[in-house]
A and B are shown apart, each in its own frame.
Chain A
Amino acid sequence: MDLSMGGYGAYVWTCFLMTAVVVIICEWRARLRHRRVYREIEVRIKALGDTQ
């Protein structure tokens, strides 16, 4: 297992690491957006319930 990738390690590992970070960001942002929308709806429904 040659972690130095024949001298190209910095290029190869940077690309794989960057891809992993982007995938994690995509997943995290998708979950966050759903949670935020859901929470906003929850708050609005509660506010409507309080005024009625």
Chain B
Amino acid sequence: MPESDDEQKLQLLEEFVRDLIRDVLGMALNDE
């Protein structure tokens, strides 16, 4: 798999984790 696909997946993973913390747990993210 080309590296750009890896990076895309990791960006999605980061978005997933941010959504989970902010929208489900209801915690403020310090850099937003």
Query: Do A and B bind?
Result: no
Hey, which bits of chain A sit against chain B, CB under 8 A? none
